[in-house]
Amino acid sequence: MQEECMGNITMREIAKSLGISVAAVSMALGNRQGVSEETRQKVMDEAERLGYSIKKSPPRKKICVINTDYWNLSHVDANQMNFYSEMSHSLYHGIEHAAKAAGYDVEFRHGANKEQQDNTPNISADGILLLISGGNEARLEEYLSWGLPVLALGNGFPKSHVNTVAYDNSGAGRKAVEVLYNLGHRRIGYLQVNDFMYNYVERREGYYSGLREYGLEPAEQFVFGEREWNASTDIYEKMSKWFSDTQPTATAYISNNDLIAATAMRVFREHGLKIGEDVSIIGFDDQFFAAVSDPPLATFKLKEAALGRIAAERLISVIESPDDTCSHLFICTEFIERESICKIKTT
């Protein structure tokens, strides 16, 4: 309990006077969730009227989570919008769970910057967990100038003096090449769309790094790339034209996300190829349809709840030990093997 009674006044008497439960009085006096602000104020007023003395606890520590442009969804269709909503829910849950376990409250803000938030006085927090896409150093510097401990949850800041937590997308790209190489594939292509996410840039870099590691020559005819798109139907038409024009002879493909992989499966099937037999495909993200596609799509699973938890724990460590060495932490993805990949056919 946070309160002490003065004289003979107890919480039970306050509850009786207001006609509410003792539990409600306890939550109101303890400034805990579970009662409305109206009820809380009534309890506080009645406690003061009756002479009940409240011993105030020190204010709880708090981290502020600011989602700037971590997921730029301006080019995303309705199906992917649902996927990113699920991702954000898991991420936020992981952040909140870790913060509360350490005794911190969490405030979530979207699209905050200096202009929108009228400078730092409006941010009442002990530290900022910044959800920001990679390559946006200028935006990052804005937040660092506020003078609060900052952790950037996102890729693309290897040269910035800021603590970061991110997925090892490049490592996953290399892993995809390794998986296919071990299945006998030597002509491995890549399917990419729009680099509006830095994750995609890193996955592509991992692909090329994997090819070099295994002594494979990249062939541009095996690479499909579109920088502008608005919906999966748009990609389908462009990929169909690409396949018809180039007649690529790769035996396996890595895609920078599952939607592009699913589109490729449709295109290849329409050109007479059997997925998981004539050609292998690996996606990224383990979206909701990956396990039920025909055939089920091999992919890399992102652990958003774990990412959020580790990011919150690292930020709290920075808050409580400000002299700690700045670090960049990378979280491994999990490869999910499914029937869209196979050993290379031998003749």
Token pair listed for 340: 């869209």
What end-to-end distance do the CA atoms of the chain give, in Å?
A: 77
**Per-position DSSP letters for 184-222, written without gaps between them:** T---EEEEEE---SHHHHHHHHHHHHHHHHTTPPP-GGG
| Residue 141 · residue 174 · CB < 8 Å | no
Quote the pLDDT of residue 117: 45
Quote the pLDDT of residue 26: 86
Residue 43 has pLDDT above 70, yes or no: yes
Give domain 61-168+303-332's CATH architecture: 3-Layer(aba) Sandwich (3.40)
Confidence band (pLDDT; 50, 70, 90) for 209?
very high
Quote the pLDDT of residue 94: 93
CA 53/CA 228 separation, integer angstroms: 64
Token pair listed for 347: 């003749």
Predicted confidence (pLDDT) per residue in 300-346, tens digit: 999 999 999 999 999 999 999 988 888 889 999 999 999 999 998 76
Which residues, including other chains, have CB under 8 Å from residue 54's CB and lie 6 or more apart?
2, 3, 4, 29, 44, 47
CA 252/CA 246 separation, integer angstroms: 16
Using only C-alpha atoms, the chain has a radius of gyration, in whole angstroms, of 26
Quote the pLDDT of residue 326: 86
Quote the pLDDT of residue 135: 62
Predicted confidence (pLDDT) per residue in 53-62, tens digit: 776 666 778 9
Confidence band (pLDDT; 50, 70, 90) for 30?
confident
Give the residue with greater pLDDT, 276 vs 30: 276
The CA-atom distances, in angstroms, between 56 and each of 3, 32, 53, 334 are 7, 12, 9, 47
**Per-position DSSP letters for 126-186, written without gaps between them:** SEEEEE--TT-HHHHHHHHTT-S-EEEESS--TTSSSEEEEE-HHHHHHHHHHHHHHTT--
Predicted confidence (pLDDT) per residue in 242-267, tens digit: 899 888 889 999 999 999 999 999 99
Quote the pLDDT of residue 3: 43
Residue 179 has pLDDT above 90, yes or no: yes
Q: What is the mean pLDDT of the chain?
A: 83
CA 311/CA 33 separation, integer angstroms: 25
Residue indicated by tokens 């509850």? 15
Mean pLDDT, to the nearest integer, of 167-192? 95
Predicted confidence (pLDDT) per residue in 81-99, tens digit: 444 455 578 888 999 999 9
Quick one: how far is CA 124 from the chain centroid?
24
CA 39/CA 57 separation, integer angstroms: 20
Confidence band (pLDDT; 50, 70, 90) for 72?
very low
Give the residue with greater pLDDT, 183 vs 109: 183
Predicted confidence (pLDDT) per residue in 186-198, tens digit: 999 999 876 567 7
The CATH 3.40.50.2300 portion of the chain extends over 61-168+303-332, 169-302
Instruction: Residues 169-302: name the CATH superfamily.
Output: Response regulator (3.40.50.2300)
Mean pLDDT, to the nearest integer, of 16-29? 89
